[in-house]
Amino acid sequence: MEVFSGRPRSPERHPLIGRSRQHRASRLDLRSAAGQVFVLQVVIVVLLVVAAVTAMVLQTSRDALQQGRRESVVAAQSFASAPGTAEALRSSDPTAVLQPRAEEVRKRTGVDFVVAMNTQGIRYTYPYPREIGKKFVGTIAPALKGRTVVEQAGGPPLPAGKGTAVQAVVPVTDSRGKVVGLVSAGITVKNVAALWLPQLPIILGSGAAALAVSMTGTTLVARRLRRQTHGLAPAELAQLYEHHDAVLHAVREGVLIIGSDGRLLLANDETRRLLDLPADVQGRPVRELGLPEPITRLLSSPEAVTDEVHLAGDRLLAVNKRPTYPQADQGGSVVTLRDTTELAVVSGRAEVARERLKLLYEAGVGIGTTLDVGRTAQELADVAAPQFADLVTVDLLDAVLRGWEPTAEGWRHLRRAAIGGEQRMIPVYPLGEVITFSRQTPQMRTLQERRVLLEPDLRQAHGWREQDPERARKALECGLRALVTVPLQARNVPLGVVNFYRTVDSPAFQPEDLSFAEELAARAALALDNARRFTREHATAVTLQRSLLPRAQPDQDALEVAWRYLPAEAGVGGDWFDVIPLPGARVALVMGDVVGHGLHAAATMGRLRTAVHNFSTLDLPVDEVLGNLDDLVLRMDNEENAGDAAEGHEGEGVTGATCLYAVYDPVAGACTMARAGHPEPVLVRPDGTVTCPGVPASTPLGLGGYPFETAELSLPEGSQLVLYTDGLVEDRTHDIDVGMERLRRALDGSGRRTPEETCQAVIDALKPSHSSDDIALLAARTRIFPPSRVAEWDVPSDPAAVPSVRARCRETLREWGLEEAGFATELILSELITNAIRYGLPPVGVRLLHGRCLICEVSDGSGTSPRLRRAATTDEGGRGLFLVAQFAQRWGTRYTTRGKVIWTEQILHDGTSAAPGQTPVDFLLDQFDDPGA
């Protein structure tokens, strides 16, 4: 290894150097390395200059030739395109007209000749008149076809002298594009070469200057090399290397030199001893030497190190590291190792600090992996035990576990949220128990003082022992010795305490352990507070959504219904369903989904569900319900996007909401449905066959301007309609086709199942282990109104027919065992039929349905709806609908394609109609009294 230094050395200390300086020559010696390097540099520079000159000459010649070709083409095309050239070629004497022009063009453009010729190549012009009339020397065939020819060809003498000419031949065309002659212009090679010959002196001068500069630089480098080697000869350098090698391997300090590529270049004998290196380590990568990971990482990194202590086997090594070339961007490094095994105490502290840092890293990774308060508390206990403490307990305020905002009033009542360590050997409060701490306990003191507290000897901790003397006695007998209790607080709000216990078999807590416990508790408290906030928001959203969903099944005769709703783990979404009784014993089934999660999606879902209820009350067709719902979503989107209304919302708009709306009529056994971007329902027939009914797919809600197609199905009694949201059949792990196939398999053979059993079977088969989306499921089994419970007949448009209708109604009610409801029903029918005959249009019809309630329907062909009003004492009419409203529980109007239907419902109790509280006559007289009397 060669070692150089910039510090001058005295002749007394370095006699070899002194002698070399005496023999230093004033000029370069070709026998020396510096002289040989000088000669080699000169030769290389000369070769480079020659190559550069040659390349420049060739390039310049090629460029000059290209320039000559361009000039020839430009001159020829200019002359051929000049006005009068084509006419001159067709004249009786072309030479007389074109020769003067050609000579003038030749002189102006600098070309050597401009030749005009006919299509046979006979010259009309030439610089020497004696050559006119002779055959042109060159290729003219392509030019006769309209193309331009550029070539090198020899010809007759020219003013510039003989030689090969660079010439261009272009066609001359008349107004119709016909070639009537040719024009050629060219430059001799002598003239082309004249374009680059003036540059040759510059090139040669530049080469000479470059050679001079190179020679000067080489001379300076040679002189610098002589100064760096102090004029030493090779033998002297070898002798110096031998001395250096002897000293390097004799010192009692390890020395390593590592290259920029991470390979070991040199290791002295002391290094091999300290690191137990084999003999063949030189040249091998540092990472393949089998050294401890900390030392390997240190040797591989480019950073400088000063007196860093590392453990290598049973030795403690003080390591220093410096780069070999501090001014370079990349380079190797020199490492020195010194055996400092006597510094065991320092190493022990470093190891403890390393373990603490490792534990803090594990805490950062392992605490807060979920947004569950209890799980986060258990993660804290598991990380700290047994690495830091033998037993760890976490006690949280009950409000924190519920997601509420903690207050100081609940400090005394903490719930045991997590236990870590050997709790089986030591009696502690069990998990989940509410602990009421006294004011003198360390737990209450740390909450009040908001700082870490240490009880080095629990036998002397009177407050801790007084909390539960019997339990404390047993814990001390099991070996419990010391306690560190730390408040868990985030945003300066206490959430609870964490207790770190150590037994007599473990070392006592040190002062530095307290700061570590605080750091650990601070990280855990932040995760606990995040989990608490999520618990609060999740509970709020779930409460909101469940309050917006149906809580009980409505009374109806058409369907047997069951449902399931499973919120997503990450937060509630916008899935909803509904079962809405409609007039005429019909039932509407609704299943919808709002894209997104959180409070915004739940609130939007509530608005849409309310809107569907309102539209259903109007008894609109299914496609009109979805159309009105689509308009509502558009308006909601506009509200969200207007101004700053969208700020602070979890989502922007509700575009993407889907809905399926179906109406089932148990009298006809028919179901009409339409879907707006929602998954298609599944139909299970009574024999267990599973099919999709083929409901046409329409666009999701909120796009606007698209119609919604409907489908009408005839369903046998006992058929099951299964409605669901996409969370049931779609997941990140598989697409919707796989989910639909799994749903069909789960429903296979469900013909004899009840809707409750069907829902449970589907959930058991398709519920994911971790649901990322809400799941809503609705199963409805159809019923058919028996014909014996339905009575209908047509009514002539004659008021005289009303008594006969009342008689038939009385007879029908007697057959159904509803004689008690006869009076009210006859009165209702009488009023409704009279109004239909008087104010409506034929045909007039009556239908009675006997189910949970008694339904009376009167239809006519008019589209006008009656309205309830209070008649004055002097009015002759206007009291019919008032009578109907008093005797019926509900009444209303629904429109059909053929007119309207006025319906009433009377609640039945034990086969009779619910009678009004007052005597009907007295009550009506009270209502019709003149308020002004």
Q: How far is CA 643 from CA 631, 637, 646, in A?
A: 20, 12, 8
Q: Any idea what the Cα angle at residue 32 is, between residues 26 and 38, rounded to 5°?
A: 80
The 10s digit of each residue's pLDDT in 583-641 is: 988 999 999 998 877 677 778 888 898 899 999 888 889 999 999 999 998 888 887 76
**How confident is residue 406, by pLDDT bands cut at 50, 70 and 90?**
confident
**What is the predicted pLDDT for the residue at 200?**
63
R_g over Cα of the chain: 53
Burial class (CB in 10 A: 0-12, 13-18, 19+), 242: exposed
Q: Give the closest residue to 381 by CA, choosing from 475, 497, 477.
A: 497
Lowest mean pLDDT among 73-82, 138-147, 154-163: 154-163
What residue spans of 7-163 are helical by DSSP H? 15-22, 33-81, 85-89, 94-109, 141-144
Longest distance between any two alpha carbons in the chain, whole Å? 152
The 10s digit of each residue's pLDDT in 838-868 is: 888 889 999 999 988 899 999 998 877 776 6
Lowest mean pLDDT among 174-183, 204-213, 276-285, 568-577: 204-213
**pLDDT > 70: what percent of the chain?**
81
Cross-sheet strand order for the sheet of 775-782: 559-566, 775-782, 720-724, 682-684, 690-691
> What is this structure's pTM?
0.52
Greater confidence (300 vs 545) lies with: 300
Q: Report the SS3 class of residue 285.
A: strand
Cβ-contact 168, 70 below 8 angstroms: no
Q: Is residue 149 scored above 80 in pLDDT?
A: yes
Burial class (CB in 10 A: 0-12, 13-18, 19+), 628: middle
**What is the predicted pLDDT for the residue at 582?**
92
Distance of CA 784 to the CA centre of its chain: 51
**What is the predicted pLDDT for the residue at 305?**
84
Greater confidence (284 vs 690) lies with: 690
The 10s digit of each residue's pLDDT in 876-898 is: 445 667 778 778 888 888 888 88
Average pLDDT for 230-241: 68
Residue type, 532: R
Residue type, 56: M
**Cα-based torsion angle of the residue sequence 187, 193, 198, 202 in order, rounded to the nearest 10 degrees:** 140
**What is the predicted pLDDT for the residue at 234?**
62
**What is the predicted pLDDT for the residue at 233?**
61
**What is the predicted pLDDT for the residue at 713?**
93
Task: Give the DSSP per-residue string, 502-520.
Answer: EETTSPPPPHHHHHHHHHH
Q: Residue 584: phi, psi to the nearest 5?
A: 75, 30
Q: Which residues pair with 731 in a beta bridge?
A: 734
DSSP classification of residue 404: P
Q: How far is CA 346 from CA 342, 353, 516, 829, in A?
A: 9, 11, 19, 104
- Six-digit token pair at 920? 């009907």
The 10s digit of each residue's pLDDT in 265-316 is: 888 887 787 788 887 788 888 887 878 888 888 888 878 888 887 777 777 7
Specify the pairing of strand 890-896 against strand 899-909.
antiparallel
